[in-house]
Chains A and B, each alone.
Chain A
């Protein structure tokens, strides 16, 4: 087969049809305060890990919310669990606990 110089890429749009709500349900069972997030970005702005990497906690937990967990495990390793995000969140989301729970849920999923 000749090489045309392009490949078929995964779709670039987010789809809530394909996303799994199950993981999100599991997450808010563990961290109910996450339901309250209103996407202000304070957590990302203050995050210690983002000072040294491309880690964006708000984007990560929003991807998780949409059921899009591709590559999330790797990203979440960058969090140092310092808890600064939790201190500034205006909606009182327990973000540090959120990271721990997202890691656990993703790990459990991989083990299965």
Chain B
């Protein structure tokens, strides 16, 4: 029986594992953390339907409970070696295991906001990341730096994305809609707080996204200002002063806010970089390079080596799931070919 290894137990990896297992293919899922779905667990509610993330975590976890699936937590793949017809995986630096096909589903990490020093993250308490905002929304309490109800909250798009200074020229794709989603969630908790999203472009590409933007304006009273914030500093009373330009008016703008939420972008995860380097399929920005973006987007230029999800580029959860499913199909075809030969 041909065996498949999947590296990474996120939405793409789990979905692929589940599809393969149902088709009778034995799958081993390697996950470096002690728990699967760590990025998803950090989320509160999911766009576009505001579904609580624990619901999805439960469903994904259920999918892993299949006979043909072995999950190995705390297993970091440090090296991959092509053995002529199969791949040898080095697990935790020592253990060597052999598989007929490997799916890379090592995912993303969020941009480290302290790299943008001018925005004051890690320096001023009032500057937080979108990740921390998710936690606050989850807990149902959103205090300012002094523990009081915030008067005004600003969200800043494109932190660590579309930014030559961070080395990331690409767009992270999901932070626009995440900001709108978060602002709506914050409004439900704080009915009187002024909420403003500072944007360059609002990229509402997915189903229901544009409508969410419309609802945010109409029903939730959220403000949108076109301009990128270039600096943040603390005021004497512990608030945050931001500098931007209202580019629609052509006027510079200063404002003080209680919380500045930095919408941090997606980068290739450390695991993605390690695996990519090990088998020479590192593309731009450390993401995995696939064979062709149209027709061969799960294939790499190495035989038996496939990729799915946000290890390839920033991706939403539903796109990752679909991509995992599509990878499973491609892997089955590959295994069938192996058996014929």
Binds A, one of B10-18, B178-186, B246-254, B282-290: B246-254
- Whether A40 pairs with B247 at a CB distance below 8 angstroms is yes
Q: Is the CB of A45 within 8 A of B245?
A: yes
> Is A42 positioned at the interface, with any CB of B under 8 Å from its CB?
yes
B244 close to A41 (CB less than 8 A): yes
Give Cα A91–Cα B164 distance, bound, in whole angstroms: 6
Q: Does B162 contact A (CB under 8 A)?
A: yes
Q: Give the interface of B toward A (CB within 8 A).
A: 118, 158, 162-165, 200, 226-231, 243-247, 250-253
Number of interface residues of A (CB under 8 A): 19
Verify A90–B247 contact, CB threshold 8 A. Answer: no
A50 close to chain B: CB less than 8 A:
yes
Residue A88 is within 8 A (CB to CB) of chain B in the complex: yes
Q: How far is the CB of A12 from chain B (nearest CB, A)?
A: 14
From B162, B163, B228, A41 is in contact (CB under 8 Å) with: B228
CA–CA, A40 to B245, complex, Å? 8
Which residues of the partner chain A approach B243 to less than 8 Å between Cβ atoms?
45-46
| Cα distance A69–B181 in the bound complex, in angstroms | 42
Q: Quick one: which of A39-70 are within 8 Å of B by CB?
A: 39-47, 50, 56, 58-59
CB-based contact A56/B231 at 8 Å: no
Q: Which of A45, A58, A92 contacts B229 (CB 8 A)?
A: A45
User: Counting CB contacts under 8 A, is A6 at the interface?
Assistant: no
A38 at the interface (CB under 8 A from B): yes
**Closest residue on chain A to residue B162 by CB atoms:** A90
From B227, B228, B230, B246, name the one whose CB has the most chain A CB atoms within 10 angstroms. Answer: B230
- Shortest C-beta distance, A52 to chain B (Å), equals 12
A56 CB contact (under 8 Å) in B118, B200, B252: B252
What residues of A have a CB within 8 angstroms of the CB of B231 in the complex?
45-46, 88
- Given A90-B162, A90-B164, A44 and B228 touching (CB < 8 A)? no
**B227 partner residues in chain A, CB cutoff 8 A:** 40-41, 45
Q: Which of A71-89 contact B (CB under 8 A)?
A: 88-89
Task: Give the docked Cα–Cα distance between A68 and B158 (Å).
Answer: 31
Taking CB atoms, residues of chain A closer than 8 Å to B247 are 39-41, 44, 58
Mind listing 13 A-B residue pairs with CB under 8 Å? A38-B200, A39-B200, A41-B226, A42-B230, A43-B230, A46-B230, A56-B250, A56-B252, A59-B250, A88-B165, A90-B228, A91-B164, A92-B164
